[in-house]
Amino acid sequence: MNMNIPTRKAQSCLWTVVLISLFAGFSATAAPTLINPRVISRPVTANDVATYNLPASTVYSGGINTFGVGTTAFLEADVNLAIPASSITSVTWALTAKPPGSQAAFSPSPLPANMPLYLPSDRLVLQVAGRTNLIPDYEGQYTVTVTVVTTNGTTNASATFNAATYLGSQTCLFCHDSSMVGGAPNMTAWTNTLHDSIFTQGITGLLGAGYSVSCIKCHTTGYNTNASALADGGFYAAAQEDGWIFPTNLGNTNLASTNWAAMANTSPVDLQSLANITCENCHGPGSQHIDVAFNTNAFNWPRLAVSYDAGDCNQCHDDPTHHIYGTEWLASAHAGGMNTEATIPSGAGRDACVQCHTAIGFITAVSNRLSGGTVFAATNTAYNAIGCQTCHEPHGLTAPTNDSHIIRVMNSVTFGDGTVITNGGEGNLCMTCHHSRNGSAVTNVVNYSKGIPTWYGGTSSFGPHDGPQGDMIEGVNAITYGLSIPSSAHRLTVTNSCVGCHMQTLAANDPGLYLSGGHTFEMSYNVVSNGVTNKIDQVAVCNQCHGQITTFNFPVEDYNGDGVIQGVQDEVQSLLNQLSMLLPSSTNGGNAGGVVQTSLPTSTKWTTNQLNAAYNWQFVSSDGSLGVHNAPFATGILKASIASLTGTSVAGGLPDAWEIQYFGSTTNALGGPNADPAGDGIPNWLKYSLGLNPFVKGLAVPNGVVYANGNALGGNTPTNTIKIYTAADVTFNTVAGTTYWIQEVTSLSQGWQDIVGPLVATNTASMSYLTPTVGNMQQFFRVVHNP
């Protein structure tokens, strides 16, 4: 008999068991379209009970594979979403193995048909084929097999579940206390958490007189009032056996303070060991785990659940209006709207991907990083949504801490370019993934152009790899062209950086509650009215610094240089559009054709200057905030990129060389595109286009302007060279809020080139633009708009 089984080994062994039980039994007699069935225990939360009007006696379930004797398991058979539901002709359940003497049988599930799969990520790839209930009556293992018959064939799947009784936290201490020889520190860390004391605080009056019996459904171990579960050894069954009654003196702190100590004298069961939120709340009852270990029977050991799915936590934390973290999380992209095996690769060989896109991959990478090991030595690459256990250490932190949220805080995070961030607070954990994973921006461009690996995965991909929010907030790791690009104060003034804004607390009456803020991590939410979807920004967290703004898209300054101060997000989008039109486009034969692009067809054939600019375009676009995170830096690198391609450092301005030639600098107001330093009514942009000295005054004549080359007309020394310049007046109707570009070609076989834009119409009227036509045999003009 060996009780000192290392925790790491036990968890690894369990994971293997779970995978085998879920997938090894799959077989198909005929399936042209893969059915891919699975059998699971579905989580059922307080929010589910309320939303779908389930019976009040419904026991919450974490959806794990180990549960108490007499406890309902809500079994679910899921199949590929690609299978038409109408093609499923039958779903048959069978108990192919159960403990000797067991009379357990299936019963109809109370879960209604409109109740979806629990995890949002699952809903993208799976659908419910059938449900049933199972109440185990003996300790041991139950193998459930489901047969799904479709018009395309028949497939079956099996899973094994453990039924056991509760033993209490004191039993777990035999192996999982760091003071034991060979023991693991799980229990030691757990004593530093609120889980360890929430019930104790409640019944001793520290949580107020409002603490009631309804609270202890989650605050004790194995609380199940159903008659079938009176043999499960859980808190309710033990309380009945001991005759313990919930105290009525919580309004008197002095009297209530003795309630916990009095429980130490309960008999025959030690209720204190089953009180509070202990190991078995999350791992399931442990009698099979310890009995099999004592008997040195390794068959399917450890017979205890280790889950990385949020259902295990949400059986208590998805309970509006007081326990809403899980409710919020279900509305988040982390829950699977983006991080799902349908869109993000996971599986064997994807160690570099799963470090950020799956729960176990992230946990492994963080643990390895903290211990100084190899970050990508992932032990499991199966898909799990980024859930509660991903960011929180459920066993607690190994040293006493004031952090009641048990966050896996990173003291620092190192970005791909080597920048070490220490000022992010709790946001350092977010930045562990939310930074460019393609290394240094400069190195990425260089390596990509050579076709050599650019990122952790050993492959060659271009750009910051989707999530450079950390780099953007800190104002680092972009192509700066050797310039000093300013940054906003967000990185210095927002407590806990990302967390300070994205996890803002909303009022109970806020219409965006459960859709934004908190664990949704969303900064806005959508409201549909009369078929129109409107996005509502949650700006309350911004008001303390920016005043009473109502949208993130509030005006700051004229970043794009068009003479109009628009909302900051409009300004940044305008610069993104301008830059994209200067880069090669797949719709224009790979040439820069003045086309607004929403993605860039980057190629190793692009010039280094084009790739530098493209990196900055992707950097700002992938950040997703359109300047809200760091407007000065976002607009700065975009304008620098535009300047690198056009020679114009000011968006919408004239080439730097021309301005310096005539005005001495790029900041002289006389050198602006619409300025008229000669006072003849002809702006600089037109004189630049015509190759004229902006300080030489011309003579207006009918249908044109006459200029002398070198000397003013009518002077004492008339010139021998006189040119008459004309222009085309392009006039078109506009719609308020629409953005326009005027383009021209000298031959319809060429690509269209922008000559002005973007021009944002502020009202519904006509717009006129004068453009020179000198020197061309023919010119064609067109107006494009967005939207």
Give the model confidence (pLDDT) of 146-170 as tens digits: 999 999 889 999 999 999 999 999 8
29: pLDDT strictly greater than 80 = no
Which backbone phi and psi does 18 adopt, to 5 degrees? Answer: -60, -45
Average pLDDT score over residue span 22-42: 61
Cis amide leading into 84 (omega within 30): no
Average pLDDT score over residue span 51-70: 95
Using alpha carbons only, what angle is made at residue 721 by residues 715 and 723, rounded to the nearest 5 degrees?
100
Which H or E run includes 709? none
CA atoms of 205 and 137, how far apart (whole Å): 38
Sheet with 38-41, edge to edge strand ranges = 38-41, 73-80, 126-134, 106-107
Matching residue, tokens 């952790």: 456
763: pLDDT strictly greater than 80 = no
Residues 6+ apart with CB under 8 A from 499: 425, 426, 427, 430
Q: Contacts from 251-257 at CB under 8 Å and sequence distance 24+? A: 251/205, 251/209, 252/205, 253/205, 253/206, 255/205, 256/203, 256/204, 256/205, 257/204, 257/205
3-state secondary structure 82-129: CCCHHHEEEEEEEEEECCCCCCCCEECCCCCCCCCCCCHHHHCCEEEE
CA atoms of 192 and 50, how far apart (whole Å): 33
pLDDT for 230: 93
pLDDT for 454: 83
**Which of the pair, 34 or 4, is modelled with greater confidence?**
34
505: pLDDT strictly greater than 80 = yes
3-state secondary structure 636-655: HHHHHHHHHHHCCCCCCCCC
Residue 369 to residues 355, 362, 397, 483, 702: CA-CA distances in angstroms? 11, 10, 16, 33, 76
pLDDT for 704: 55
pLDDT tens across 514-554, in order?
A: 999 999 999 999 999 898 999 999 999 999 899 999 999 99
Is 348 exposed, middle or buried, given 0-12, 13-18 or 19+ CB atoms closer than 10 A? exposed
CA atoms of 772 and 687, how far apart (whole Å): 9
pLDDT for 290: 86
CA 81 to chain centre: 23
Residues 6+ apart with CB under 8 A from 135: 70, 71, 72, 73, 104, 107, 228
Average pLDDT score over residue span 172-179: 76
8 A C-beta contact, residue 614 and residue 462: yes
Confidence grade of residue 22 (pLDDT, cut at 50, 70, 90): very low
CA atoms of 245 and 357, how far apart (whole Å): 47
pLDDT for 773: 63
CA atoms of 648 and 582, how far apart (whole Å): 12
Which backbone phi and psi does 228 adopt, to 5 degrees? Answer: -65, -20
Picking from 59, 319, 41, the residue whose alpha carbon sits closest to that of residue 161 is 41
Which backbone phi and psi does 323 adopt, to 5 degrees? Answer: -125, 85
Report H helices in 285-410: 287-294, 311-317, 325-329, 351-357, 359-370, 388-391
8 A C-beta contact, residue 193 and residue 99: no
Picking from 61, 72, 301, 65, the residue whose alpha carbon sits closest to that of residue 162 is 65
pLDDT tens across 710-761, in order?
A: 444 444 444 445 455 566 777 788 888 888 888 887 777 667 878 777 888 8
652: pLDDT strictly greater than 70 = no
CA atoms of 580 and 576, how far apart (whole Å): 6
DSSP symbols for 392-411: B-TT--SS--S-TT-B---S
DSSP state of 334: G
56: pLDDT strictly greater than 60 = yes
Tokens for 109? 């599930």
8 A C-beta contact, residue 598 and residue 589: no
Tokens for 359? 């729960």
Picking from 783, 775, 704, the residue whose alpha carbon sits closest to that of residue 744 is 783
CA atoms of 356 and 502, how far apart (whole Å): 18
8 A C-beta contact, residue 416 and residue 436: yes
8 A C-beta contact, residue 282 and residue 387: no
pLDDT for 699: 67
636: pLDDT strictly greater than 90 = yes
pLDDT for 36: 84
8 A C-beta contact, residue 436 and residue 464: yes
Picking from 96, 165, 80, 164, the residue whose alpha carbon sits closest to that of residue 128 is 80
Query: pTM here?
Result: 0.81
8 A C-beta contact, residue 696 and residue 713: no
Give the homologous superfamily in CATH for domain 7-164.
Immunoglobulins (2.60.40.10)
Going 20 to 161 to 385 to 437, the CA torsion angle's sign is negative
Which residues, listed in sequence order, are joined to residue 44 by a DSSP beta bridge? 61
Picking from 442, 436, 493, 494, the residue whose alpha carbon sits closest to that of residue 467 is 436
CA distance between the termini of the chain: 73
CA atoms of 13 and 7, how far apart (whole Å): 10
**Which of the pair, 564 or 404, is modelled with greater confidence?**
564
Matching residue, tokens 């919930």: 246
CA atoms of 613 and 633, how far apart (whole Å): 14
CA atoms of 234 and 224, how far apart (whole Å): 7
- To 10 degrees, the CA torsion angle through 339, 344, 347, 352? -90
Mean pLDDT in the chain? 85
Percent of the chain with pLDDT over 90: 55
Q: Give the pairing type, strands 73-80 and 38-41.
A: antiparallel
Give me the count of residues in the chain.
787
Average pLDDT score over residue span 455-473: 85
Percent of the chain with pLDDT over 70: 84
pLDDT for 348: 80
401: pLDDT strictly greater than 60 = no
Going 35 to 36 to 39 to 40, the CA torsion angle's sign is negative
Beta strand extents in 366-484 (DSSP E only): 413-414, 420-421
Most confident residue range from 345-349, 397-401, 499-503: 499-503
Domain ranges for the chain, please list them.
7-164, 169-283, 656-725, 728-786
674: pLDDT strictly greater than 70 = yes
Average pLDDT score over residue span 592-608: 89
Residue 500 to residues 497, 541, 554, 697: CA-CA distances in angstroms? 5, 8, 20, 58
pLDDT tens across 302-337, in order?
A: 889 999 999 999 999 999 999 999 999 999 999 986
pLDDT tens across 350-382, in order?
A: 878 888 888 998 998 888 877 766 665 657 888
DSSP state of 245: -
Residue 183 three-state SS: coil
Average pLDDT score over residue span 626-635: 96
pLDDT for 730: 79
CA atoms of 77 and 153, how far apart (whole Å): 16
pLDDT for 219: 97
144: pLDDT strictly greater than 90 = yes
Which backbone phi and psi does 731 adopt, to 5 degrees? Answer: -120, 135
